[in-house]
Structures are given as structure tokens and as C-alpha cells.
């Protein structure tokens, strides 16, 4: 409920800022387009921020479910090995705390108590969690139960498999952390280079080209509108550079998320941070310089 309220407040605040920045453009006295881009960028970022927070919370919840499923599997193995039927073992774990997975285990136990076939209840449980790891594990349990295999051995193998999977994910996150940091540093350097080119190189080049044409020393075949006159202005180059930075930050963040978490959705937070860096640094420094 608090998240929904925060999302509504964030979206409204973002719309207000975007509206005000657009209103400034309509005022005849408003010539500072850099301020418009800065305010407009902040407004868009504020509007997107709640959705990024939701994505981060969802990924964290999914990770907790996978970790708790490992504990659930281990407890289930111990119960089945002691001679308790799997259905009664699940019902017996109904009151145990498994974090974010508890609500799904409670629903699973209730369905079994109501007489729903355990295979159907387990299938519902797996798809309710929306976790690929849990879905794969439950599918193996269901197939083992159908074929009459040793459910205790299957559960033990699944617990080991889930443990190894989570261990590999943790090792990958630790190994890739330095690469993630390098990615942010490289992107920051890229932003600085673009800003220097926009603020220093292009105005100087524009002045040189303009002087060359005014003195009649233009190169044959060169367009007299380049950098000056009726051609592209430094302001237009600045807009193109900003679009380039936003595009670079968006896809670089998604790639970082895929490398570090194995899921492209995990890159949404990295994309948001990089795009925010690009917008705030690029448009903010234009106001200062």
C-alpha cells in the first residue's frame, strides 16, 4: 500500500515538473533551453523512479523465494526420509516461517487439506511463485511422483541442485562486481568526453569553420552550413549527444544486469542509474559552464 502511494506521488510530481518545464518553453521570454532539458529530464526520472523501485523489490523478493525454497526442500527431505508422506510433511510445515515463500507454502498446504491432488497443488504452487528455479524443481518432483520413483532420493537431488544453482549465482555476482564497477567508470568517462566535445570542441570548430567561410577560403565541396550558418548548431549537437548518452546508458545497464544476475530485468536499476547520470550531468553542466 505504501509503495502504491509512493508511486502515485512520484508520478504526479514528475508530471508537474514536466508540465512546468514545457510551460516555460511556451513563454516568450524563456530562451534557456538547457534549463528546460534539465527540468524535463528530472521530471521523467521522477516518473520512472517508482517503477524502478518496484523492479528492484521484485528481484529481491524472487531471490529470497529461491533461497527459502532451498530450506523448504531440505526440511521436506528430512520429513520424507523419516517416513512421513510428502503430503503430510507439507501440511506440517505450514506454520513454519519461510519468508516470502510462506504465503505460497500455506496455500499449498491448504489445497492438499481440501483434497486437491498433490500434483495439481504443487503445480499451482510452482507457477504462483513465478520462479524458474522453483518451477523446474517442482516439475521434477511431479514427474517422480507420477512414475513412482523414490521421492526421497528425488527430493534430496533437487535440494542439492537448488543449492548448487544458488551458490553459482552468488559466485557470479561476486566475480562480476568488479566488471560492473568498471562499466560505471567507463560510462562516466564517456559522459565527460561527450560534454567536453559539446562544450569545448564543437564551438571552437564552429568558429574556425565560420571564419574560413567568411574569408572565402572554404574547401571545395564543403557545405557552408556545417557547424554554422543555416546548418547544424552546437545546440543541435548537444541534443544528439544527450540522446546518444541515454541510449548508451539504457542498453549498457541491461547488459550489466544480464551479466551479473543472469536476468535482463535486473539491469533495469543499472539502466536507470546510468540514464540519470547522463541526463543530470549533461544538462546540469550545461547550466554551469
Which of 77-81, 183-187, 247-251 is the least confident region?
A: 77-81
Per residue in 226-270, pLDDT tens? Answer: 444 445 566 677 778 888 888 888 998 888 888 877 778 888 888
Counted domains in the chain: 1
Asked if the structure places residue 69 within a domain, the reply is: yes
| pLDDT grade for 218, boundaries at 50, 70 and 90 | very low
Asked if the structure places residue 280 within a domain, the reply is: no
CATH assignment at residue 162: 1.20.81
Asked if the structure places residue 154 within a domain, the reply is: yes
Asked if the structure places residue 158 within a domain, the reply is: yes
* pLDDT for residue 206: 64
Per residue in 115-165, pLDDT tens? Answer: 888 888 888 888 888 888 888 888 877 777 676 666 667 777 777 877 787
**Structural domain range at position 108:** 64-168
Asked if the structure places residue 248 within a domain, the reply is: no
Three state DSSP letters for the chain: CHHHHHHHHHHHHHHHHHHHHHHHHHCCCCCCHHHHHHHHHHHHHHHHHHHHHHHHHHHHHHHHHHHHHHHHHHHHHHHHHCCCCHHHHHHHCCCCCCHHHHHHHHHHHHHHHCCCCHHHHHHHHHHHHCCHHHHHHHHHHHHHHHHCCCHHHHHHHHHHHHHHHHHHHHHHHHHHHHHHHHHHHHHHHHHHHHHHHHHHHHHHHHHHHHHHHHCCCCCCCCCCCCCCCCCCCHHHHHHHHHHHHHHHHHHHHHHHHHHHHCCHHHHHHHHHHHHHHHHHHHHHHHHHC
Asked if the structure places residue 137 within a domain, the reply is: yes
| pLDDT grade for 28, boundaries at 50, 70 and 90 | low
Asked if the structure places residue 84 within a domain, the reply is: yes
Asked if the structure places residue 100 within a domain, the reply is: yes
Amino acid at each position: 500500500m505504501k509503495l502504491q502511494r509512493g508511486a502515485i506521488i512520484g508520478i504526479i510530481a514528475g508530471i508537474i515538473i514536466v508540465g512546468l518545464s514545457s510551460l516555460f518553453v511556451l513563454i516568450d521570454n524563456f530562451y534557456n533551453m538547457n534549463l528546460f532539458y534539465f527540468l524535463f529530464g528530472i521530471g521523467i526520472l521522477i516518473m520512472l523512479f517508482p517503477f524502478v523501485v518496484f523492479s528492484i523489490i521484485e528481484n529481491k523478493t524472487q531471490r529470497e523465494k529461491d533461497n527459502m525454497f532451498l530450506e523448504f526442500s531440505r526440511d521436506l527431505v528430512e520429513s520424507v526420509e523419516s517416513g512421513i508422506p510428502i503430503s503430510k510433511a507439507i501440511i506440517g510445515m505450514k506454520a513454519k516461517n519461510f519468508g516470502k515463500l510462506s504465503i505460497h507454502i500455506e496455500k499449498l498446504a491448504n489445497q492438499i487439506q481440501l483434497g486437491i491432488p498433490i500434483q495439481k497443488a504443487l503445480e499451482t504452487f510452482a507457477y504462483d511463485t513465478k520462479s524458474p528455479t522453483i518451477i523446474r524443481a517442482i516439475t521434477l518432483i511431479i514427474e517422480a511422483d507420477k512414475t513412482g520413483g523414490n521421492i526421497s532420493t528425488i527430493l534430496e537431488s533437487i535440494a542439492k541442485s537448488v543449492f548448487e544453482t544458488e551458490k553459482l549465482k552468488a559466485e557470479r555476482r561476486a566475480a562480476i562486481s568488479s566488471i560492473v564497477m568498471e562499466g560505471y567508470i567507463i560510462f562516466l568517462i564517456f559522459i565527460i568526453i561527450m560534454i567536453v566535445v559539446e562544450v569545448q570542441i564543437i564551438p571552437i570548430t564552429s568558429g574556425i569553420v565560420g571564419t574560413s567561410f567568411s574569408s572565402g577560403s572554404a574547401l571545395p565541396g564543403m557545405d557552408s552550413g556545417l557547424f554554422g550558418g543555416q546548418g547544424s548548431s552546437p545546440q543541435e549537437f548537444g541534443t544528439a549527444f544527450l540522446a546518444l548518452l541515454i541510449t548508451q546508458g539504457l542498453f549498457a545497464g541491461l547488459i550489466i544486469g544480464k551479466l551479473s544476475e543472469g536476468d535482463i530485468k535486473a539491469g533495469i536499476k543499472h539502466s536507470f542509474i546510468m540514464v540519470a547520470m547522463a541526463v543530470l550531468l549533461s544538462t546540469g553542466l550545461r547550466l554551469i559552464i
